[in-house]
Structure 1
Amino acid sequence: MPSDKHWNYEKDLVTTSINGVCLANPFLKYIEAERVVYNSKNTTDKVTILSGGGSGHEPLHLGFVGDGLLDVAVSGSIFASPSVKQIVAGINSKPSNKGTIVVVKNYTGDILHFGLASERSKAQGSNIELLIVQDDVSVGRTKNGMVGRRGLAGTLLVHKIIGAKSSIDNHSSTLEEVHSLGQRVIDNLITIGVSLDRVTVPASNADKRSKEIEEEEEENEKFDELTKDEIEIGMGIHNEHGIKRVSPIPNVEDLAETLLAYLLDPNDKERYYVPYKKDDEWVLMINNLGATSNLELYAIQSIVNDKLNDIYGIKPVRIYTGAFTTALDGPGFSITLLNVTRAGGDEILRCLDNPTTAPGWNSSITKSQWSELGSHIITEPPAVNTVSSDVKFDSKTVEKILIQGCKNVIKVEPQITLYDTVAGDGDCGETLAAGANAITNSLKNGKLQTQDAVKFFDELGDLIETAMGGTSGGLYSIFISSMGTYLKKQEKEIGGFNVSKEQFADTLEAGLTGLQKYTRARVGDRTLMDTLIPFVETFKSTVDLSKAIEAANKGAESTRKLAAKFGRASYVGEDEFKRFDSEGGLPDPGAIGLAALIKGFIEGYNSSA
């Protein structure tokens, strides 16, 4: 069982730990202010591989920065996604003529922040492709249908294979080739975890974790802790609950059979994600969640290997055992299987066998290489690419639109807060008001450029993400950044232009398309998408603002009758909603807030006509 005691630190634990990793590797450079670590050796003539996420999973991610593996790792606080600003700094730290692959595990905060950073970098001229790792089988298809599988220890195999692919044959692989191989690996990965108990988080970092993680932990607190003679199958790497508890604790031989059935049983339609044939080749990885002794871990590996052969006729062609993707002091392990035959056959094995200097993967740095060691601390983050264009807005019109939209949001903030006190965590109104106030202040101080359309969206996206934060700030910022990316692309194709209503309708559609890559919420899911999608689609088809706002309002009001599928509202009991029966039901606060914002935008536009 894990101890609830931790060492105390005067300095920030995460930042100090990253520094320690870099001290042990002569090729790593550390942008301390942004928690970015990169390999100083690699050329710009290769596809750059960047990954990252919350700390607490070491050696993932920064332990795998090195020749033939990751080029860049970006670290957040414990179990919390790094910010968009950090990720963009990571992308800019290793610019590539061939482009950058961004690898992210399938968690809401990570998807939004890494997705927004990718869109922002695209708008600034970078060539970026995203790989979303999904390998967990514990939560079946029915329950995870809206969000997909979680990303677990299989992430490391994705890193290793695409890192090698981008490096071998004198870095000859293209961005498309590396991305395609990575996606085939993800499509053929399966992982299941099990733990004796929950992890404990060092208290000194509790105040630095993201809001999303705090919400997640509050949900976890609704469940009883594991008893002394109980395990949990399917536990995630952030303390998330699994699929079942087992008591008494079974012997590992029986447990291995149970876990392998979740991975490989073709009769389990909820979890049979990777079909296989008798002669398919497989890779097996046994991952230490943090507090399983090496003595036990290798015993577990031996037992799992025997069960694979005896029950399924599988004899792995490669076996990896160790701490690869941990959960702090998690007293458990996970089993990952990769179907090599389906993913790419000999190419996969060649990439796995390719040497690397990354310390987390059997590194071997020579004496002569140590002599190259210099200071690894980078005091100045890389310069942020600035964007500009000859795509123009009418500046005065834009300012009137923004000011009136912000006024509307601030006016309805108390009502939205009331709704969110029941349906969420009570801060939706305050979050929207924070964004509105940030825009108003930036306009007042002349810090938001409103004539250059591409630059406007770039600055606005950054402003909103910083001011609002959290999931809603990420969603708004991705939508905004995607619009800027679209206009920049249009400029390349047709040259400079003044944005017409018809062109703005196309831009809104592009923004929606970009946003839908990072959220599965659609009309009917009781989110802000119930407002946004009808507005964009109606304006695109009619170029009529009156009809578009009518559709937006109708969509927002429809959420009063919908069951929540995302966020905290999905946990709220029916009795909590009855107090709003007199007004037709409790609506989604985000949908109502967005409708008010759009209404203000259109009022501002009409006043400028």
Structure 2
Amino acid sequence: MSKLFFNERNTLVSDAIDGLIYSNQHNNLTRLDIDEHIRIVVRKDWDKSKVAIISGGGSGHEPAHAGFVGQGMLTVAVCGDVFASPSVEAVLNAILYVTGDAGCLLIVKNYTGDRLNFGLATEKAKKLGLKVEMVIVNDDISIENSKKPRGIAGTVFVHKVAGYYAEQDASLEDVTAKANLCNDNVSSLGVAVTSCHIPAEENEDRIPANKAELGLGIHGEPGIALIDIDHSRDVVELMAEKLLAKTNNQRYALLLNNLGGTSPLEMSLLTKDVVESSLGENMAYLFGPKPFVTAIDMKGFSLSCVILTDEIETALMAPVAVESWPTGIQVNDATPITIEKASNSVAFTPSESADIEAIVAQICDTVIGLKTELNRLDTLVGDGDTGSTFSSGALKVQQELKAKNLP
């Protein structure tokens, strides 16, 4: 049974694209109507005078890629089925529609289908006389010494850099060089506690309870290790160690990416963990926390670091008219304002009574022991937290009882 909302499996991607276009705050997106199997999202304000920036791939990674189409980033996104590369024909039609004399650059993630289909479309376009180049993003560092590192969330840094220089009327050669410079300086690593659900398919979650998988792919591919998740800060520090080995103590921008199913509460907690970890020391800018490149509803997050050269920093901080790109910030000061506590507590002198202590202790033990059952009963009529609330209070009373602090 599906765990996702959709109408028909074969119209899911097209329906989602229409939803994006309906709600796009810049009102600068449209799609090409070619046939039902070709899904191309393009800038409405494109005039072919500059280098076109094309990206795309399988759907299910939203807001990538269509959410980054707009002035200053992508010219067009070619959307395949869920986790499936768009066809050669779809990519070729996108190239032909947006490419003028300045040429176009294709930016694709390092997966076999994308390399093959975008690459073949590139060669066909060249044979038609168009100036076309391709950059393959390979930012995933999870598999040490991998000959074909995957492209994951750091891809959007490459989009931003290429889009900026294209907007400045740079040549195709220069835009390609800047995109490659960014790609060479990006490192990413992800972790998740569940894999993702694929529409209309049986989905088994292989990750055990109280564990997380480090380095899993954005299509649910297995990671490199199962790790404990007792404390999120320890998970972040493990990732920080691997990422910092790539930055060589240089200034970098960091992207905190929600892989799709992590709650805002958790993402804010992870932001604190990241800022207060060893990653915080040389972090010049923070992008996020928000979804950039997701894996449908995977409950996890990824971190991407890009070493800041002058060219990359200028490009990343330039404004854009793009739905899903946030402004990078320098981390804010989180020092709280200290005030005197207002309390309605009644003053008392602690005292001892063995009989009363025994009664209070038994009450506390009973309430704590009934936590699960009280929660179960409350789910029938309320929000399911009565046991947790009473247990929390009983634990506090128990603590004060043992410290001999009660009257």
Task: Give the match's secondary structure for 1:75.
Answer: strand
Q: Which shows bigger deviation, 81-90 or 299-308? A: 299-308
* Equivalent residue number for residue 200 of structure 1: 197
Q: Distance in 2 between matches of 1:244 and 1:250?
A: 16
Q: Distance in 1 between matches of 2:73 and 2:285?
A: 21
* Equivalent residue number for residue 155 of structure 1: 155
Q: Distance in 1 between matches of 2:273 and 2:108?
A: 31
* Equivalent residue number for residue 299 of structure 2: 331
Q: Distance in 2 between matches of 1:281 and 1:362?
A: 20
Contact 1:152-1:237 within 8 A present in 2 as well: yes
Q: Which shows bigger deviation, 74-83 or 11-20? A: 11-20
Contact 1:281-1:317 within 8 A present in 2 as well: no
What does the per-residue CA deviation read over 1:276-332, in whole Å, with 9 as the maximum and x for residues that have no partner? Answer: 2x4x2210110000011122112212211221357xx42333433210000000000
Q: Confirm or deny that 1:352 pairs with 2:356.
A: no
Contact 1:305-1:316 within 8 A present in 2 as well: no
* Equivalent residue number for residue 303 of structure 1: 273
| Superposed counterparts of 1:159-558, under 5 Å | 159-168=159-168, 171=169, 173-203=170-200, 225-247=206-228, 249-265=229-245, 274-276=246-248, 278=249, 280-308=250-278, 313-340=281-308, 344-345=309-310, 347-362=311-326
Q: Which shows bigger deviation, 179-188 or 36-45? A: 36-45
Shift of the alpha carbon at 1:4?
5.2
Task: Give the match's secondary structure for 1:246.
Answer: strand
Task: Give the match's secondary structure for 1:166.
Answer: helix
* Equivalent residue number for residue 44 of structure 2: 40
What does the per-residue CA deviation read over 1:153-174, in whole Å, with 9 as the maximum and x for residues that have no partner? Answer: 0001110111111103xx2x00
Q: Distance in 1 between matches of 2:4 and 2:283?
A: 41
How has the CA–CA distance of structure 1 residues 226 and 275 changed in structure 2, closer, same or farther, with 3 Å as cutoff? closer
Task: Give the match's secondary structure for 1:241.
Answer: coil
TM-score, scaled to structure 2: 0.75
Task: Give the match's secondary structure for 1:29.
Answer: strand
* Equivalent residue number for residue 89 of structure 2: 85
Q: Distance in 2 between matches of 1:309 and 1:137?
A: 16
Q: Distance in 1 between matches of 2:298 and 2:285?
A: 28
Shift of the alpha carbon at 1:36?
0.6
* Equivalent residue number for residue 405 of structure 2: none
How has the CA–CA distance of structure 1 residues 317 and 6 changed in structure 2, closer, same or farther, with 3 Å as cutoff? closer
Q: Distance in 2 between matches of 1:174 and 1:159?
A: 16
Q: 1:64 aligns with which of 68, 75, 91?
A: 68
Shift of the alpha carbon at 1:262?
1.8
Task: Give the match's secondary structure for 2:125.
Answer: helix
Q: Distance in 2 between matches of 1:328 and 1:36?
A: 20
* Equivalent residue number for residue 501 of structure 1: none
Residue identity in the other structure for 2:324? G
Q: Distance in 1 between matches of 2:265 and 2:130?
A: 46
Q: Distance in 2 between matches of 1:155 and 1:298?
A: 23
Residue identity in the other structure for 2:115? I
Q: Distance in 1 between matches of 2:138 and 2:216?
A: 15
Q: Distance in 2 between matches of 1:284 and 1:8?
A: 33
Contact 1:102-1:128 within 8 A present in 2 as well: yes
How has the CA–CA distance of structure 1 residues 165 and 259 changed in structure 2, closer, same or farther, with 3 Å as cutoff? same
Q: Confirm or deny that 1:13 pairs with 2:12.
A: yes
Shift of the alpha carbon at 1:7?
2.4
Shift of the alpha carbon at 1:227?
1.5
How has the CA–CA distance of structure 1 residues 159 and 251 changed in structure 2, closer, same or farther, with 3 Å as cutoff? same
Shift of the alpha carbon at 1:360?
1.0
Q: Please identify which structure carries the higher strand content.
A: 2
Task: Give the match's secondary structure for 1:111.
Answer: helix
Task: Give the match's secondary structure for 2:316.
Answer: helix
Contact 2:72-2:321 within 8 A present in 1 as well: yes
Task: Give the match's secondary structure for 1:182.
Answer: helix
Number of residue pairs the alignment of both structures matches: 321
Q: Distance in 1 between matches of 2:325 and 2:134?
A: 23
Q: Which shows bigger deviation, 31-40 or 4-13? A: 4-13
Shift of the alpha carbon at 1:20?
1.3
* Equivalent residue number for residue 29 of structure 2: 28
Q: Distance in 2 between matches of 1:252 and 1:56?
A: 26
Contact 1:48-1:101 within 8 A present in 2 as well: yes
Contact 1:198-1:239 within 8 A present in 2 as well: yes
Q: Distance in 2 between matches of 1:112 and 1:154?
A: 21
| Superposed counterparts of 1:126-145, under 5 Å | 126-141=130-145, 144-145=146-147
Q: Distance in 1 between matches of 2:69 and 2:283?
A: 30
Q: Distance in 2 between matches of 1:63 and 1:196?
A: 26
| Superposed counterparts of 1:110-129, under 5 Å | 110-129=114-133
How has the CA–CA distance of structure 1 residues 8 and 63 changed in structure 2, closer, same or farther, with 3 Å as cutoff? closer
Contact 2:288-2:326 within 8 A present in 1 as well: no
Q: Please identify which structure carries the higher helix content.
A: 1
* Equivalent residue number for residue 519 of structure 1: none
Shift of the alpha carbon at 1:275?
4.9
What does the per-residue CA deviation read over 1:423-454, in whole Å, with 9 as the maximum and x for residues that have no partner? Answer: xxxxxxxxxxxxxxxxxxxxxxxxxxxxxxxx
* Equivalent residue number for residue 98 of structure 1: 102
Structure 2 portions without partners, runs of 5+: 328-407
How has the CA–CA distance of structure 1 residues 191 and 362 changed in structure 2, closer, same or farther, with 3 Å as cutoff? closer
Shift of the alpha carbon at 1:42?
2.4
Shift of the alpha carbon at 1:27?
1.8
TM-score, scaled to structure 1: 0.51
Contact 1:193-1:333 within 8 A present in 2 as well: yes
What does the per-residue CA deviation read over 1:26-73, in whole Å, with 9 as the maximum and x for residues that have no partner? Answer: 221211422011102123121100000000000000011111110010
* Equivalent residue number for residue 353 of structure 2: none
Shift of the alpha carbon at 1:8?
4.0
Aligned-residue sequence identity (percent) comes to 37
How has the CA–CA distance of structure 1 residues 98 and 8 changed in structure 2, closer, same or farther, with 3 Å as cutoff? closer
